């Protein structure tokens, strides 16, 4: 996992945090640079090596719940990092108004979807099914169906126009130039497919507890197997097919793109459905809703133009390319998501 040197002030605070988690004297601290939404460090100490994370995206209650869930999943044999406890039995440490969590370090590497064999792609789907089953066992019963929000055409068009204007006014770099050119294309697409907007206000399902960000950057591999499923900040209740489809889109995006590795998408879905029943209609609905979200989404531009955060600029570029590719091949993508194009050995699974 990529790292960088840590600043002295952060090193001092992290030394205190490590001591609170019972790690003892710190020998080395490095910034983890693979993530974009959180600040995390690899802390090597006398008492072991841990991943320490600054809690940003959730409140303390949610952070504690995540730690308890991770421990429960690890106890069930799933590859989830073991969270650390303080001497007082707390999963959180607060220093200078900042809250931290820590978990045992998982040694391994992240792997892009194209690097996986068909069997490994199917295995990732099977693991996701096992995660969903385990979450259902250790958390309160989830409602069987939930309402999924659907962006309005007018609201999305307004946001795109606003960010296009901000990019034109900024005019500072290649990303601004890209946004200025991309926004009109996105608005034309949005208004051209307005009749395909999914129905809002209806119940979707089957629903359950999901990881929320099951993708290659959050999967650590060791010796040909997943050794760690990381980053549980988005633990929540949603249609399980929504996670399955989103994971397929993120893990198996073609490199350098645009496009998807459709055979591996099919293997991934087959792996999931070999372990867990999921109707075709649920997958088709989730695919339609995710595609519409991609047509409307502007969160990358909000970060850039409202918060001055450019860490996700590359995601907007890649998402734009994939959206255009997907829109032209929706039937092919759906066929893959239904497992119709997977070429997986019968002894590995039956889809």
Q: If you average pLDDT over residues 324-340, what whole number do you get?
A: 94
Task: Tell me whether residue 174 is exposed, middle or buried, using C-beta atoms within 10 angstroms of its C-beta: 0 to 12, 13 to 18, 19 or more.
Answer: exposed
Task: Tell me whether residue 349 is exposed, middle or buried, using C-beta atoms within 10 angstroms of its C-beta: 0 to 12, 13 to 18, 19 or more.
Answer: buried
The yes or no reply on domain 113-337 and CATH 3.90.1690 is no
pLDDT tens for 144-176 read 999 999 999 999 999 999 999 999 999 789 999
What does each C-alpha distance from 15 to 24, 40, 50, 114, 183 come to in angstroms? Answer: 8, 14, 12, 39, 46
**H helix count then E strand count, the chain:** 11, 12
Q: Which residue is listed with tokens 């994939």?
A: 322
Contacts of 177 (CB under 8 A, 6+ apart): 171
> In this model, does residue 348 exceed pLDDT 80?
no
> In this model, does residue 212 exceed pLDDT 80?
yes
pLDDT at site 8: 59
pLDDT tens for 83-140 read 999 999 999 999 888 899 999 999 999 999 999 999 999 999 999 999 999 999 999 9
Q: Where are the domains of the chain?
A: 3-104, 113-337
pLDDT at site 85: 97
Q: Is the pTM of this model over 0.85?
A: yes
Q: Name the CATH superfamily housing domain 3-104.
A: Phosphorylase Kinase; domain 1 (3.30.200.20)
pLDDT tens for 244-286 read 999 999 999 987 778 999 999 999 999 999 999 999 999 999 9
- Distance CA(250)–CA(214), nearest Å, equals 9
pLDDT at site 26: 92
Contacts of 19 (CB under 8 A, 6+ apart): 25
- Distance CA(83)–CA(89), nearest Å, equals 11
CA angle 197–214–2, rounded 5-degree value:
125
């Amino acid at each position: 996992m990529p790292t960088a040197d840590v600043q002295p002030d952060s090193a001092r605070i992290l030394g205190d945090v490590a001591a609170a988690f019972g790690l003892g004297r710190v020998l080395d601290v490095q910034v983890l640079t693979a993530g974009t939404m959180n600040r995390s460090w690899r802390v090597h100490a006398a008492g072991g090596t841990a991943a320490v994370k600054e809690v940003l995206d959730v409140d303390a209650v949610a952070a504690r719940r995540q730690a308890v869930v991770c421990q429960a999943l690890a106890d069930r044999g799933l590859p989830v990092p073991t969270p650390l406890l303080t001497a007082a039995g707390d999963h959180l440490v607060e220093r200078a108004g900042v809250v931290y969590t820590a978990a045992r370090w998982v040694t391994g590497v992240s792997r892009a979807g194209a690097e996986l064999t068909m069997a490994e792609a199917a295995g990732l789907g099977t693991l996701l099914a096992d995660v969903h089953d385990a979450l259902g066992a250790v958390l309160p019963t989830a409602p069987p169906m939930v309402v999924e929000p659907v962006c309005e055409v007018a609201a999305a068009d307004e946001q795109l126009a606003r960010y296009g204007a901000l990019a034109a006014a900024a005019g500072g770099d290649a990303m601004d130039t890209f946004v200025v050119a991309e926004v009109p294309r996105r608005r034309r697409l949005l208004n051209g497919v307005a009749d395909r907007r999914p129905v809002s206000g209806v119940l979707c399902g089957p629903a359950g507890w999901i990881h929320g960000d099951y993708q290659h950057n959050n999967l650590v591999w060791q010796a040909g197997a997943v050794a760690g499923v990381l980053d549980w900040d988005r633990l929540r209740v949603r249609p399980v097919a929504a996670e399955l489809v989103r994971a397929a889109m993120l893990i198996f995006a073609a490199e350098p793109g645009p496009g998807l590795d459709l055979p591996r998408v099919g293997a991934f879905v087959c792996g999931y459905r070999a372990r867990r029943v999921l109707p075709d209609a649920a997958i088709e609905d989730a695919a339609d809703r995710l595609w519409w979200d991609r047509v409307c989404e502007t969160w990358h531009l909000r970060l850039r133009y409202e918060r001055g955060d450019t860490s996700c600029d590359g995601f907007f570029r890649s998402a734009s390319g994939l959206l255009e590719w997907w829109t032209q091949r929706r039937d092919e993508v759906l066929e893959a998501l239904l497992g119709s194009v997977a070429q997986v050995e019968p002894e590995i699974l039956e889809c």
